[in-house]
Amino acid sequence: MEKKLIVSLSPHVHSGDSIQKNMYGVLIALVPAFIASLAFYGLGALVVTATSVIACMLFEWVIAKYILRKNTNSICDGSAAITGVLLAFNLPSNLPIWIIIIGALFAIGVGKMSFGGLGNNPFNPALAGRVFLLLSFPVQMTTWPVVGQLGSYVDVETAATPLAIMKRIIHNDPNTTLADLPSSLDLFIGNNPGCIGEISAVALLIGLVYMLWRKIITWHIPVSILGTVFIFSGIMYFVNPEVYVSPVIQLLSGGLMLGAIFMATDYVTSPMSKKGMLIYGVAIGILTVVIRLFGAYPEGMSFAILIMNAFTPLINMYCKPKRFGEVAKKK
């Protein structure tokens, strides 16, 4: 019997990557930030993170099985778990469980599964859930526990975040000065109030190094965001150092590191080409500083990423990656 060699269509290169491998790689990169959250917030960080992850995975399974009537194995690929962790990392450590569950339902049900599941959502699901909770429960979402209350969850002492202090200074609050801000070292380590996953810059940078080493992401989006924020806020600081804080403080405050490293780099909602990534990152950096300095909210990272998520298809249209095997035409 004659045997035929059947060759599939090109390209014939396989990198060995998979959705599951990359998703679990991101989860590993988030471990240092989770450890830092436990070190500074203790029980509260554990309760919020566990509730968010379990709720996100449960909602994805229920919606996939009983509403969309499709394969329910997607909860094992790590994407629902990442959504749960990132949603939790954007929440205060004393947020009531029922509010966390509502946020998880919106993130998975509206932000992800309503568009068809992984790969089809135009907006980052975790950020969609976070912004929904911020608009729906502004008081609970802007009440920040003081770090070090490891055994407490709901009944905790609260304080203003560094970004809230900056906003008061910009608005000429007579009771607030630059001296009220935490030191750069405290911001770098994580000894300051804020969302549980955003406080420790060093933990987030460890995650960035790991993902770059494993080639889960490229440097283009994080570096373009952080570089743009540093330059833009540096110009504002040079113009009026009595009102605007140094660019280093801007980089280490709020959700900038978390957003630039783990949320803006989401495969589905970010551009495909390197040129598109740079445009996307620069725009996020500019929007973040504009909202922080001139907007109504102290933090602008979440809004900036969601706004640029909407522009990602347009960026992909005008910054198309080079086709495999394509040869540039000579002029």
Q: List, for residues 275-286, the tens digit of each pLDDT value.
A: 999 999 999 999
Which parts of the chain fold into alpha helices (H)?
A: 19-29, 31-41, 43-62, 79-89, 97-105, 125-136, 138-141, 162-170, 184-189, 201-213, 220-239, 247-252, 256-258, 274-294, 301-318
Same domain, 90 and 223: no
- Cα separation of 121 and 63, whole Å? 15
Domain finish residue from 83, 108, 141: 141
One domain for residues 235 and 116: no
Per-residue pLDDT tens over the stretch 285-297: 999 999 999 988 8
The per-residue pLDDT for range 83-119, each reduced to its tens digit, is 999 999 999 999 999 999 999 999 999 999 888 887 8
Q: Is residue 57 part of a domain?
A: yes
Residue 309 shares a structural domain with residue 178:
yes
DSSP state of 246: P
Residue bearing tokens 């994805």: 60
Burial of 34 (0-12, 13-18, 19+ CB in 10 A): buried
Residue 12 belongs to a domain: no
The verdict on 201 and 278 lying in the same domain is yes
Residues 299, 252: one domain? yes
Look at residue 192 and tell me if it is in a domain.
yes
Do 99 and 172 belong together in one domain?
no
Radius of gyration of the chain (CA): 21
**Domain-ending residue, one of 76, 111, 141:** 141
| Domain identity same for 227 and 119 | no
Report whether 49 contacts 41 (CB < 8 A). no
**Does some domain include residue 54?**
yes
Residues of 231-256 as b/e, b for ≥16 C-beta within 10 angstroms?
Answer: ebbeebbeeeeeebbbbebbbbbbbb
Do 185 and 302 fall within a single domain?
yes
Question: What average pLDDT does this structure show over 313-322?
Answer: 84
CA distances from 296 to 91, 133, 163, 257 (A): 19, 17, 12, 21
- Specify the pLDDT at position 247: 94
Q: Are residues 59 and 204 in the same domain?
A: no
pLDDT value at residue 13: 47
- pLDDT of amino acid 72: 61
Query: Is residue 191 situated within a structural domain?
Result: yes
Question: Percentage of the chain surpassing pLDDT 70?
Answer: 90
Domain match, 179 and 250 both = yes
Per-residue pLDDT reduced to its tens digit, 157-189: 888 888 988 999 888 888 888 888 888 999 999
Residue 37 counted as domain residue:
yes
Do 134 and 167 reside in the same domain of the chain?
no
Number of domains in the chain: 2
User: Is 297 domain-assigned?
Assistant: yes
Which residue range(s) make up the domain with 57?
A: 20-141
pLDDT tens digits along 27-74: 999 999 999 999 999 999 999 999 999 999 999 999 988 887 776 666
Same domain for 112 and 169, yes or no, is no
Task: Look at residues 107, 141, 175 and tell me which one is the last residue of a structural domain.
Answer: 141
In a domain, 128, yes or no: yes
Burial of 43 (0-12, 13-18, 19+ CB in 10 A): middle
